[in-house]
């Protein structure tokens, strides 16, 4: 895949995914609260506003503010820049892995935008589960990151198998 195709794919993924993520959060903030839970589909899906100062499942939320902001804002921004460079210039990446990495970039960027806009936290509002088995509270950007990760995990063994067959 040449550079211009990689750029077009990446821009399309970024605009659509970051756009959906950023559009969903003001709606969640205007309709939901931290104390009230909206339940759907037999309580499989719950909507409730949460402000996450940490990373995945709140990891790092108890870090001192300077460390937390440096790690989750500057550190993440640096990693996203490296990821963008890999997406655009990797000679060995397949089109499906480029898409997967672009999804990781989009999800990371969606949450980074939150941290910059809201002073260090991410807006979360979705929780799924059955009975007592539930996920943490997450957002659209997190779903995008999981989709990219799954694409890489599923695609890598298949790509390795094709390479070993050659």
Mean pLDDT of 9-16: 97
The Cα-based distances of 92 to 5, 35, 96 in angstroms read 15, 48, 12
Mean pLDDT of 56-83: 86
114 is catalytic: no
Per-residue model confidence as pLDDT tens digits over 19-40? 999 999 999 999 999 999 999 9
- pLDDT the model gives residue 46: 96
- pLDDT the model gives residue 63: 83
pLDDT band at residue 65, thresholds of 50, 70 and 90?
confident
43 is catalytic: no
Mean pLDDT of 81-108: 94
Per-residue model confidence as pLDDT tens digits over 95-130? 999 999 999 999 999 999 999 999 889 999 999 999
What pTM value is reported for the model?
A: 0.87
Instruction: Show Cβ contacts of residue 118 under 8 Å, excluding neighbours closer than 6 positions.
Output: 51
- pLDDT the model gives residue 163: 46
- pLDDT the model gives residue 33: 92
* Number of CB atoms found within 10 A of residue 129's CB: 13
Per-residue model confidence as pLDDT tens digits over 52-63? 988 877 777 778
* pLDDT of residue 71 exceeding 50: yes
Mean pLDDT of 132-143: 94
- Rounded CA separation 148/98 (Å): 10
Mean pLDDT of 130-153: 94
Catalytic residue among 21, 43, 114, 142: 142
């Amino acid at each position: 895949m040449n550079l211009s195709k990689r750029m077009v794919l990446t821009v399309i993924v970024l605009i659509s995914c970051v756009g959906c993520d950023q559009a969903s959060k003001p709606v969640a903030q205007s309709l939901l609260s931290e104390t009230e839970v909206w339940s759907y589909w037999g309580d499989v899906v719950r909507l409730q506003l949460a402000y996450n100062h940490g990373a995945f499942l709140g990891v790092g939320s108890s870090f001192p503010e300077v460390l937390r902001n440096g790690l989750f804002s500057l550190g993440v921004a640096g990693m996203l820049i490296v990821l963008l460079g890999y997406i655009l210039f990797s000679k060995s990446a397949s089109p499906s892995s480029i898409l997967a990495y672009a999804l990781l970039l989009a999800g990371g960027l969606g949450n980074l935008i939150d941290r910059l806009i809201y002073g260090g936290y991410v807006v979360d509002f979705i929780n799924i589960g059955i009975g007592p088995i539930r996920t943490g509270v997450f957002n659209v950007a997190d779903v995008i990151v999981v989709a990219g990760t799954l694409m890489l995990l599923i695609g890598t063994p298949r790509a390795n198998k094709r390479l070993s067959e050659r």
